[in-house]
């Protein structure tokens, strides 16, 4: 036998042994921070209800997960915390994810936990002279740039055949919304819950333009590739807990509403009024990918991301845990 | 009535339950059918919306007019199908209305795309057109996903309804089975149980356990039957106890009577022994009478006659009278001794019946009594062409005594006429001795048959007073009887001798 051939044989045997070890699990690394609390950044919004219900009902603990909730004002903020390493998981809508992906940031979408085509709204100031969509022409509209609200606003204007150039669009920060509208710095705001409710409640005469279900508005559970290492079982446990929570929301809505009222300090009437705007369904489907791709094209077209990289958003979907927990809701076919 | 009511109740419950089960099954079946219809419509709608998605892609790339027309057609058909689904599936009307809204949005976007021309290499679309196509695509994609999701949920609900239908069927069947078992058990408990109990108790009661009672645990037919049985058992037990008590008394009485009888028997034995002793003494007395007394008496008679014959001439008139008196007394005493001896000997005689021709017997009696007949100038006639059965010598003595009495007790100066007539029936032979004598007063009909009974002075009519007693004794020894009828015209003695079976057959 030639030395080269012998060397190849040893390598083959070594690979075989390693493969056996890997298959049997003997060689796998211990779960990262398995004994530590997992942290999840959660937007203080009705879209986060499955997280709240699972926590309130003790489903995370029941599934053997120690999950600590970290409140955020928006999904974009939550995503920032996650990317900054403050939390391992985050809830976030499509748009911040699309922007992050175009910026070359790696993350993993684990599942959509809820959705709402009415979450983003246009709230107009009294006296701004805006009674219907066409009245937005020539008006000052504030928007949460880099969020679903921005995508919603562009879609809204397109839907009503309004050239965005005819509208004075500029950025408004979440913490400025009430003052911005009250002071007439803006005639209208393209924002989403819970800021919509805050403005409608605190700004006299403010009202929302009739909603149009133009943006699907998926709300997702995401993590970073680093945080996912060795945490498949914990992620599956979290998804199982969320699945149970969605069952409670569907079968015992009163209990879910009570939890939402308590968690977000909302009144019952407020919760009742918005209840039907949300769908709570654990999923990872083709429409999510289509939406992400659509938004990515929109962001690139709009030049919202300087030096946007070409990405395959399918690579950002991490369906493994969902395949194990709720395979019936995984309908990706690319 | 109770059993019937219970059965009616059970059967009614069974019917209600079966009806309920059937109702449930029909309800679930109706749901399944309804969901099948919904699913069929949704499959059609899903096909339409999937085709729309493909057409959207085709329109976005090639701007085909054919695709545009087909898209609109599919859109109109889709809306109608959604309306139908919303009607048939009101539970999901809200989600369906959202899909309608999404499709409506898609239509509005599509209408804005009417001007879209052919795409492809070398053709550049405006950003607006690309945005519209993207929006249209995600609307259709979203609607399709919603359709898939609702279809899956409907399928799950249909499976659940089918499952419930099967469960209802099983529950109904099991309930029916359980009710059948319950009815059977109830029947067994209500009917067969009491019957078995009654049968067991009856068997034990019949075997002597009189304290056994049926379990009358219900107020129904079987309970009443058991109650009746128990009442009957109570009565029987009471009667049995009374009978036992009576038997115990009877046994005591029997024992008492047995003791008494034993005592009497013992006494009788003593009496018998005493009687035997007396009989022995009597026999000894008879022996004395017959031998010891007759010897000296015969001597007296013989010597008296001899003295009269040999020394008669030496006696005067008084001497003859005195000797005659002694002779008569001695003769009378000898007759008395003979009769007495006859009577006593009768006690020891055993009858051996033989056929006796009565006419022959009468001839012999006539011969024997010839001297008496002639002396008294009597006439003796008879009709005796018959056969009697008995001891010949004893019956001859009977007839002889009766005929001699008839001759002796005649009326003064009237020649005695004696007539003996023999008659017979199927059962008895009757010998009647009639005379024309002095007769017997009715008051003495009984007394004349007693020992030493005399109705007249010895000086008037000779006799020992034993004749009729001997006659009666002999007749009774033959199982017969003797009767008398008497009037001034005379007396009539009737001797009734029973015919033995053997005699009657001769």
Q: Which residues of B touch A212 (CB under 8 A)?
A: 105
Report the alpha-carbon distance of residue B409 to residue B421 in Å, rounded: 19
Average pLDDT of span B244-255 = 79
Report the alpha-carbon distance of residue B111 to residue B131 in Å, rounded: 14
Q: Which residues of B touch A298 (CB under 8 A)?
A: 131, 134
Token couple for A222: 């995401």
Distances (CA, A) of B386 to B335, B391, B446: 32, 16, 29
- CB-nearest to B152 from A161, A216, A328 is A328
Q: Which of A291, A155, A149, A275 is nearest to A216 (CA)?
A: A291
Report the alpha-carbon distance of residue A249 to residue A100 in Å, rounded: 31
The H or E element containing residue A109 is strand A108-115
- Average pLDDT in chain B: 80
Three-class SS state of B390? strand
pLDDT of amino acid A139: 94
Is the pLDDT assigned to residue B106 strictly greater than 80?
A: yes
Rounded CA Rg of chain B: 71
- Determine, for residues A158 and B128 on separate chains, whether the beta-carbon distance falls below 8 Å: yes
pLDDT of amino acid B115: 62
pLDDT of amino acid B156: 82
pLDDT of amino acid A180: 93
Give the mutation candidate from B129, B134, B150, B152 for the A interface (greatest A CB count, under 10 A). Answer: B134
- ipTM computed for the complex: 0.78
Report the alpha-carbon distance of residue A166 to residue B235 in Å, rounded: 118
A168-171 sheet: strands from edge to edge: A168-171, A140-143, A188-192, A120-124, A207-208
Q: Residue A239, by phi and psi: left (phi above 0), alpha (psi -120 to 50) or beta? A: alpha
- Taking one residue from A and the other from B, the number of pairs with CB-CB distance under 8 angstroms is 65
Strands A207-208 and B490-498: unpaired
- Which among B190-199, B301-310, B428-437 has the top mean pLDDT? B428-437
Report the alpha-carbon distance of residue A275 to residue A266 in Å, rounded: 12
Average pLDDT of span B175-179 = 76
pLDDT of amino acid A78: 95
Count each helix (H run) and each strand (E run) in chain B, helices first: 13, 7
Q: How far off is chain A from B52, nearest CA to CA, in Å?
A: 14
Q: How far off is chain B from A298, nearest CA to CA, in Å?
A: 7
Core vs surface per residue A188-206: b (16+ CB within 10 A) or e: bbbbbbbbbbebbeebeeb
Token couple for B436: 């024309």
DSSP assigned state of A117: S
More confident residue, B432 or B307: B432
Token couple for A284: 């990872």
Q: How confident is the model at residue B4 (pLDDT cuts 50, 70, 90)?
A: low
Q: Which of B116, B44, B51 is nearest to B82 (CA)?
A: B44
Strands A168-171 and B387-390: unpaired
pLDDT of amino acid B6: 67
Q: Which of A162, A117, A167 is nearest to A143 (CA)?
A: A167
Q: Mean pLDDT of successive 10-residue segments in chain A (334 residues)?
A: 46 46 39 64 94 96 94 92 95 93 94 90 91 92 89 90 91 92 94 89 90 85 93 94 94 95 91 89 88 90 86 92 90 68
Structural contact between residues A227 and A81, judged by C-beta atoms closer than 8 angstroms: no
- Determine, for residues A212 and B105 on separate chains, whether the beta-carbon distance falls below 8 Å: yes
| DSSP one-letter string for B188-245 | IIIIIHHHHHHHHHHHHHHTT-TT------SSSHHHHHHHHHHHHHHHHHHHHHHHHH
Report the alpha-carbon distance of residue A56 to residue A67 in Å, rounded: 12
Average pLDDT of span B252-268 = 79
Beta bridge partners of B434: B419, B492
pLDDT of amino acid B453: 65
Structural contact between residues A110 and A321, judged by C-beta atoms closer than 8 angstroms: yes
Does B53 lie at the interface with A, CB-CB under 8 angstroms? no
pLDDT of amino acid B217: 63
Report the alpha-carbon distance of residue A155 to residue A162 in Å, rounded: 10
Is the pLDDT assigned to residue B298 strictly greater than 70?
A: yes
Average pLDDT of span B100-125 = 74
Q: How far off is chain B from A215, nearest CA to CA, in Å?
A: 8
| DSSP one-letter string for B78-139 | HHHHHHHHHHH-GGGHHHHHHHHHHHHHHHHHHHHGGG----STT----HHHHHHHHHHHHH
**Preceding peptide of A207 cis, ω within 30°:** no
Q: Which residue has the tokens 């659509």?
A: A294
> Whole-prediction pTM value?
0.56
Least confident stretch, A88-92, A224-228, B290-294, B371-375:
B290-294
Does B145 lie at the interface with A, CB-CB under 8 angstroms? yes
Distance from the Cα of residue B107 to its chain's centroid? 103
- A contact set with B (CB within 8 A): 117, 154-155, 158-159, 161, 212-214, 216, 276, 279, 281, 283, 285-287, 290-291, 293-294, 297-298, 301, 328-329, 331
Q: Which residue has the tokens 């339409």?
A: B48
Token couple for B385: 């062409």
- CB-nearest to B145 from A117, A286, A294 is A286
Q: Residue A33, by phi and psi: left (phi above 0), alpha (psi -120 to 50) or beta? A: left
pLDDT of amino acid A215: 84
Structural contact between residues B113 and B133, judged by C-beta atoms closer than 8 angstroms: yes
Angle, alpha carbons B232-B234-B236 (nearest 5°)? 70
- Determine, for residues A301 and B131 on separate chains, whether the beta-carbon distance falls below 8 Å: yes
Structural contact between residues B144 and B56, judged by C-beta atoms closer than 8 angstroms: no
- CB-nearest to A290 from B98, B131, B141 is B141
Distances (CA, A) of B263 to B248, B256, B272: 22, 10, 14
Beta bridge partners of A219: A93, A114
Structural contact between residues A229 and A32, judged by C-beta atoms closer than 8 angstroms: yes
Interface of B with A in 442-481 (CB under 8 A): none
Structural contact between residues B102 and A279, judged by C-beta atoms closer than 8 angstroms: no
Specify burial of residue B72 (Cβ count, 10 A radius: 0-12, 13-18, 19+).
middle
Report the alpha-carbon distance of residue B449 to residue B469 in Å, rounded: 5
pLDDT of amino acid B418: 95
B326-353 pLDDT tens trace: 787 777 777 777 777 777 667 666 777 8
Average pLDDT of span B403-408 = 90
Q: Which residues of B touch A331 (CB under 8 A)?
A: 145, 148
Structural contact between residues A176 and A203, judged by C-beta atoms closer than 8 angstroms: no
- Which among A139-153, B131-145, B229-243, B302-316 has the top mean pLDDT? A139-153
Structural contact between residues B104 and B142, judged by C-beta atoms closer than 8 angstroms: no
- CB-nearest to A290 from B95, B130, B137 is B137
- Determine, for residues B152 and A286 on separate chains, whether the beta-carbon distance falls below 8 Å: no
Token couple for A305: 């991301």
pLDDT of amino acid B295: 74
pLDDT of amino acid B503: 52
What residues contact residue A307 under an 8 Å CB cut-off, 6+ apart?
Answer: none
pLDDT of amino acid B287: 67
Report the alpha-carbon distance of residue A301 to residue A130 in Å, rounded: 28
Which residue intervals of chain A are DSSP H helices?
Answer: 3-24, 49-56, 59-62, 75-83, 94-102, 148-159, 177-182, 195-202, 225-228, 232-251, 253-264, 268-274, 286-302, 320-325
Q: How confident is the model at residue B289 (pLDDT cuts 50, 70, 90)?
A: low
Is the pLDDT assigned to residue B2 strictly greater than 80?
A: no
Cα separation of the two ends of chain B:
78
Report the alpha-carbon distance of residue B221 to residue B227 in Å, rounded: 10
Specify burial of residue A246 (Cβ count, 10 A radius: 0-12, 13-18, 19+).
buried
Report the alpha-carbon distance of residue A220 to residue A73 in Å, rounded: 15
Other CB atoms closer than 10 Å to residue B443's CB: what's the count? 7
Q: How far off is chain A from B101, nearest CA to CA, in Å?
A: 7
Structural contact between residues A121 and A191, judged by C-beta atoms closer than 8 angstroms: yes
Report the alpha-carbon distance of residue B369 to residue B373 in Å, rounded: 6
Report the alpha-carbon distance of residue A181 to residue A125 in Å, rounded: 6
pLDDT of amino acid B283: 67
Closest residue in chain A to residue B127, using alpha carbons only = A301
Q: How far off is chain B from A55, nearest CA to CA, in Å?
A: 26
Report the alpha-carbon distance of residue A238 to residue A69 in Å, rounded: 12
- In chain B, the largest separation of any two C-alpha atoms, in whole Å, equals 224
pLDDT of amino acid A27: 38
What residues contact residue B114 under an 8 Å CB cut-off, 6+ apart?
Answer: B68
Does B150 lie at the interface with A, CB-CB under 8 angstroms? no
- Determine, for residues B112 and A331 on separate chains, whether the beta-carbon distance falls below 8 Å: no
Torsion angle (degrees, nearest 10) of CA B195, B198, B200, B204: -160
pLDDT of amino acid A7: 45
pLDDT of amino acid B216: 66
What residues contact residue B259 under an 8 Å CB cut-off, 6+ apart?
Answer: none
Strands B354-357 and A140-143: unpaired
Closest residue in chain B to residue A291, using alpha carbons only = B138
| Number of residues in chain B | 506
């Amino acid at each position: 036998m030639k030395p080269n051939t012998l060397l190849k044989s040893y390598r083959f045997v070594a690979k075989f042994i390693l493969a056996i070890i890997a298959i049997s699990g003997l060689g796998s690394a211990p779960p990262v921070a398995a004994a530590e609390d997992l942290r999840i950044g959660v937007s203080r919004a009705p879209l986060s209800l499955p997280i709240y219900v699972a926590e309130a009902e003790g489903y995370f603990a029941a599934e053997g997960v120690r999950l600590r909730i970290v409140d955020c004002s928006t999904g974009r903020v939550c995503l920032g915390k996650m990317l900054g390493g403050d939390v391992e998981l985050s809830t976030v809508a499509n748009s911040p994810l699309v922007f992050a992906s175009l910026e070359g940031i790696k993350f993993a979408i684990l599942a959509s936990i809820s959705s709402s085509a009415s979450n983003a709204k246009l709230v107009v100031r009294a006296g701004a002279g805006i009674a219907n969509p066409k009245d937005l022409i020539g008006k000052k509209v504030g928007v949460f740039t880099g969020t679903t609200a921005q995508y919603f606003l562009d879609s809204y204007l397109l839907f009503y055949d309004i050239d965005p150039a005819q509208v004075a669009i500029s950025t408004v920060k979440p913490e400025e919304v009430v003052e911005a509208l009250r002071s007439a710095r803006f005639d209208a705001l393209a924002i989403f819950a819970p800021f919509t409710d805050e403005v409608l409640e605190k700004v006299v005469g403010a009202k929302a333009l009739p909603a149009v279900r133009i943006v699907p508005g998926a709300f997702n559970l995401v993590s970073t590739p680093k945080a996912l290492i060795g945490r498949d079982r914990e992620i599956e446990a979290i998804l199982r807990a969320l699945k149970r929570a969605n069952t409670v929301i569907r079968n015992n809505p009163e209990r879910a509403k009570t939890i939402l009222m308590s968690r977000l300090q909302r009144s019952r009437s407020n919760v009742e009024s918005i209840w039907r705007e949300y769908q709570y369904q654990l999923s990872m489907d083709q429409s999510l990918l289509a939406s992400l791709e659509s938004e990515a094209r929109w962001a690139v077209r709009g030049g919202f991301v300087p030096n946007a990289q070409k990405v395959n958003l399918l690579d950002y979907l991490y369906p493994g845990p969902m395949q194990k927990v709720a395979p019936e809701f995984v309908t990706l076919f690319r | 009535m109770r059993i019937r009511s219970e059965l009616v109740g059970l059967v009614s419950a069974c019917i209600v339950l079966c009806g309920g089960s059937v109702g449930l099954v029909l309800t679930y079946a109706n749901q399944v059918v309804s969901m099948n219809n919904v699913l069929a419509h949704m499959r059609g709608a899903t096909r339409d919306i999937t085709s729309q998605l493909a057409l959207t892609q085709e329109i976005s790339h090639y701007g085909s007019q054919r695709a545009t027309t087909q898209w609109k057609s599919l859109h109109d058909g889709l809306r109608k199908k959604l309306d139908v689904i919303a009607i048939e599936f009101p539970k999901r009307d809200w989600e369906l209305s959202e899909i309608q809204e999404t499709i409506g949005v898609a239509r509005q976007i599509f209408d804005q795309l009417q001007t879209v021309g052919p795409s492809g290499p070398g053709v550049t679309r405006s950003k607006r057109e690309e945005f519209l196509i993207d929006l249209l695509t995600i609307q259709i994609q979203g609607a399709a996903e919603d359709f898939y999701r609702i279809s899956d949920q409907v399928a799950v609900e249909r499976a659940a309804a089918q499952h419930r239908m099967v469960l209802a069927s099983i529950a109904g069947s099991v309930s029916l089975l359980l009710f059948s078992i319950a009815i059977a058990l109830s029947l067994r408990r209500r009917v067969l149980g009491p019957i078995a109990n009654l049968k067991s108790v009856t068997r034990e009661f019949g075997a002597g356990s009189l304290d056994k009672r049926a379990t009358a645990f219900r107020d129904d037919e079987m309970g009443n039957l058991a109650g009746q049985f128990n009442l009957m058992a109570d009565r029987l037990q009471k009667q049995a106890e009374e009978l036992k008590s009576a038997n115990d008394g009877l046994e005591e009485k029997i024992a008492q009577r047995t003791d008494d009888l034993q005592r009497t028997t013992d006494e009788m034995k003593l009496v018998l022994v005493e009687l035997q002793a007396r009989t022995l003494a009597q026999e000894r007395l008879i022996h004395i009478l017959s031998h010891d007394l007759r010897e000296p008496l015969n001597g007296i008679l013989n010597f008296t006659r001899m003295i009269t014959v040999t020394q008669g001439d030496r006696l005067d008139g008084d001497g003859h009278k005195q000797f005659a008196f002694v002779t008569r007394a001695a003769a009378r005493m000898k007759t008395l001794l003979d009769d007495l001896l006859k009577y006593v000997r009768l006690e020891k005689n055993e009858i051996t019946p033989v056929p006796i021709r009565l006419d022959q017997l009468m001839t012999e009696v006539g011969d024997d009594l010839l001297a008496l007949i002639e002396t008294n100038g009597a006439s003796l006639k008879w009709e005796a062409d018959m056969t009697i059965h008995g001891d010949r010598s004893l019956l001859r003595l009977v007839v002889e005594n009766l005929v001699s009495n008839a001759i002796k007790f005649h009326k003064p100066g009237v020649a005695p006429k004696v007539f003996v007539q023999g008659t017979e029936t199927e059962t008895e032979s009757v010998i009647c001795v009639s005379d024309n004598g002095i007769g017997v007063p009715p008051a003495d009909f009984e007394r004349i048959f007693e020992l030493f009974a005399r109705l007249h002075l010895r000086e008037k009519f000779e006799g020992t007073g034993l004749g009729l007693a001997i006659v009666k004794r002999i007749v009774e020894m033959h199982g017969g009887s003797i009767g008398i009828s008497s009037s001034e015209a005379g007396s009539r003695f009737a001797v009734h001798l029973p015919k033995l079976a053997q005699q009657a057959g001769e």
